[in-house]
Amino acid sequence: MKASPEAQLRLLELADLDTELARLAHRRRALPENAELEQLAVRDAEVRDEMTRADTELSDLDREQARAERDVEQVRVRIDRDQQRLDAGKVSNARELESLQSEIVSLRRRQSDLEEVVLELMERREAAQARRDAAEAGTEAGAAETAAVTSRRDAALAEISEQESKSSSVRASVAASVPAELLALYDRVRAQVGGVGAAKLRRGKCEGCNVSLSTAELNEIRAAAPDEVLRHEECRRILIRTTESGL
Ligand SMILES: [Zn+2]
């Protein structure tokens, strides 16, 4: 294929723009905010689980506490009843009196044990409530952080899109100035090798694959006409000669 040296040089501009566009696409994929948002979502799920666990524990404890308080009340009512019988002086039989007094003693012990249980349940409830409050605060902090990171990510995406659209429009105008056949070759090579379809020959080295050309290859290039479109055998890219080529 033949193309003017000027047209060939334009391929280097295209290659630079393609490199820039690839860099922008990579930046979009690798935005650190995306990883941060994933981590925040994981943490959010964890604190929500913790909240659910605390809620379950709280309702269990509420039920237990209500039961224990009912038990305390029952015992208290029995003590009152016994005490009233005692105070009314209705019990004169010595054995009955003794049995009533001993029942009151054992009921008081039972009441004290049950009150102990209620206190312990209240303490456990307090601890569960504190865990729930901390988890809830965690979800709120997480939501605020997520909003901040999302807005940072959106700003970065908007900036990337803007740069992309600039580079794409410059690429379109450069591409329009390249002869169709040469442009088609460039795009084909680019699709095959990835990255860019053309590279500069600089000081005897292909800048596309960083491989130095052999003396024989360089001699062939020296002998080629300036409008001959050359390819690097090693990487198949279109090789562009410039004043820096070392020919
Ligand atoms: Zn090469």
User: Torsion over CA of 119, 124, 128 and 130, rounded to 10 degrees?
Assistant: 60
What's the 104 CA to ligand 1 centre distance in angstroms? 101
CA of 208 to the centre of ligand 1 (A): 5
Sorting pLDDT into bands at 50, 70 and 90, what band is 95?
Answer: very high
Q: What residues contact 171, with CB distance under 8 A and at least 6 apart?
A: 14, 17, 18, 21
Q: Rg of the chain's alpha carbons, rounded to an integer? A: 42
Residue 22: its pLDDT value, please? Answer: 96
What is the pLDDT of the chain when averaged over all its residues? Answer: 96
Q: Ligand 1 centre from 197 Cα, in Å?
A: 10
Task: List 206's β-bridge partners, or say none.
Answer: 201, 211
d(CA 57, CA 121): 11
Distance, CA 187 to ligand 1 centroid (Å)?
A: 16
What's this model's pTM, rounded to 2 decimal places?
0.74
Strand partners, 51: none
Q: Strand 198-202's sheet: what is its strand order?
A: 211-212, 205-206, 198-202, 238-241, 230-231
Distance 100 CA to ligand 1 centre (A): 107
Ligand 1 center from residue 188 Cα (angstroms): 15
Residue 92 has pLDDT above 90, yes or no: no
**Encoding tokens for residue 143?**
């939501």
Ligand 1 centre from 62 Cα, in Å? 75
Q: For residue 247, is pLDDT > 90?
A: no
Q: Look at residue 222 and tell me whether its pLDDT is greater than 90.
A: yes
Average pLDDT over residues 111-124: 97
Residue 90 has pLDDT above 90, yes or no: no
List b or e across 78-109, with b for residues whose CB sees 16 or more CB atoms inside 10 angstroms.
ebeebeeeeeeeebeeeeeeeebeeebeebee
CA 205 to centroid of ligand 1, rounded, Å:
8
